[in-house]
């Protein structure tokens, strides 16, 4: 059963919006044998009455679905979110089904489809497998992590034109990461030993 937690920032979550979100997200149930017992976290934001942002996170036992979308209209953003979530499920389903075929096990998490012509159940993906190599590592780099502070790391990142930079923190001697956020500001990820 999907349990909804819908929050609004600078917008009131009306019954109409809540109903629209729930009806759209409920369509994801068709991808599973049993409706997952999951909490659906939806965050609706409005910026300057012109731009909306919809964020959806659905943590489940075998995968976490997460998508965000910006659009001028709230309902259009919700529609686009559904498309993104369905693509994530189909991609994950294809990978899981490929592993099951290789190991010879029977899948139980994702729903199977029945071919109407011959009545045979199949676990084949419902879309082209073009994304099969999407997660292949195509390049490997090795470099020394120079000790520095986070400000110097941001400067190095900007000089290189990258969106993130890995470095050794001069004070803690830990491996840290600075990154450029979508809002143009910077973030810092500190690792623990």
pTM of the full structure: 0.55
* Residue segments in the chain with a per-residue pLDDT below the cut of 50: 106, 118-133
* pLDDT confidence of residue 158: 81
Which residues is 68 bridged to in the sheet? 55
Which residues is 176 bridged to in the sheet? 167, 190
* pLDDT confidence of residue 123: 42
Record: fold of 147-190: SHC Adaptor Protein (3.30.505)
* pLDDT confidence of residue 108: 53
**137: phi then psi, degrees, rounded to nearest 5:** -80, 120
Span 62-71, pLDDT tens digits: 677 888 888 8
- CATH 3.30.160.100: which residues of the chain? 2-133
Domain 2-133, second-level architecture: 2-Layer Sandwich (3.30)
Which string of DSSP letters, residue by residue, matches 73-93? SHHHHHHHHHHHHHHHHHHHH
The answer to whether 110 and 31 have CB atoms below 8 angstroms apart is yes
* pLDDT confidence of residue 131: 47
- CATH 3.30.505.50: which residues of the chain? 147-190
């Amino acid at each position: 059963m999907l349990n909804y937690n819908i929050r609004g920032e600078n917008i009131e979550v009306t019954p109409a919006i809540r109903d629209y979100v729930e009806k759209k997200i409920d369509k994801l149930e068709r991808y599973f044998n049993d409706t997952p017992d999951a909490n659906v976290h939806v965050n609706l934001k409005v910026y300057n009455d012109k731009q909306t942002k919809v964020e959806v996170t659905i943590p489940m036992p075998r995968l976490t679905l997460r998508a965000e979308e910006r659009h001028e209209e709230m309902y259009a953003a919700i529609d686009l979110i559904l498309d993104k979530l369905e693509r994530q499920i189909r991609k994950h389903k294809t990978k899981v089904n490929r592993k099951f075929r290789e190991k010879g096990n029977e899948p139980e998490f994702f729903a199977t489809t029945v071919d109407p012509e011959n009545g045979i159940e199949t676990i084949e993906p419902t879309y082209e497998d073009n994304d099969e190599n999407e997660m292949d590592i195509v390049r490997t780099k090795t470099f020394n992590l120079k000790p520095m502070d986070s400000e110097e790391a941001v400067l190095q990142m900007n000089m290189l034109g990258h969106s993130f930079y890995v470095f050794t923190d001069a004070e803690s001697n830990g491996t840290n990461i600075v990154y450029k956020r979508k809002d143009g500001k910077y973030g810092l990820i500190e690792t623990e030993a």
